[in-house]
Amino acid sequence: MINYEGIFFLEEELEKLFSNEGTFLGNRNDLPHITFSYKPDGKHLIEDVIGKDVTCYLTSYGCNGENSAFLATFPEEFEEIYYNSDDKGNRINPHITVSLADNAKAANSRNLTFVKLREPIPIKGKFGYWVKDNGKEYALFEKILPKKKQS
């Protein structure tokens, strides 16, 4: 089952996150990412861009002792597929949780107060899925839905 879809930042780019993080809170995020759609319901699949490389920019940083995260931007061409919203349907600013305190929830990073960085920091990522399947969790960077048959 797809748990969420988004842009994932891979090993070679993680140092940009970690070296610019103001306060490490003890627990690194498993795979830093920008969620585009949480628990997609079939209406919000980003299938057409899965596996595509993309450059994003870290623009602001926030930390409250529980969550440490960056606000980020991505190319405007992907705005129409960004569906991440809160329980009330309000759009959540794109962010990347970097570290957490014990028992903190990554979802709470959206509530941080962010301070603008002196200049945006480019970071390369790849569109993919976070999959939970038979007790395993992993990132997947290839399309998993069957191709539509041509009529």
d(CA 115, CA 60): 5
d(CA 33, CA 4): 10
| 151 pLDDT higher than 60 | no
Q: What percent of the chain has pLDDT over 70?
A: 93
Position 120 in a domain: yes
CATH code of the domain covering residue 29 = 3.90.1740.10
The answer to which of 27-36, 37-46, 127-136 has the lowest mean pLDDT is 37-46
Place of tokens 């103001």: 22
H or E element at residue 12: helix 11-20
Position 95 in a domain: yes
Identify which of 129, 145, 141 has the alpha carbon closest to the alpha carbon of residue 53.
141
Rounded mean pLDDT of 23-38? 91
Position 150 in a domain: no
pLDDT confidence band for 145 (50 / 70 / 90): low
Cβ proximity of 40 and 82 under 8 Å: no
Position 111 in a domain: yes
pLDDT confidence band for 62 (50 / 70 / 90): very high
Full residue range of the structural domain in which residue 105 is found: 2-140
pTM: 0.88
| 10 pLDDT higher than 70 | yes
| 150 pLDDT higher than 60 | no
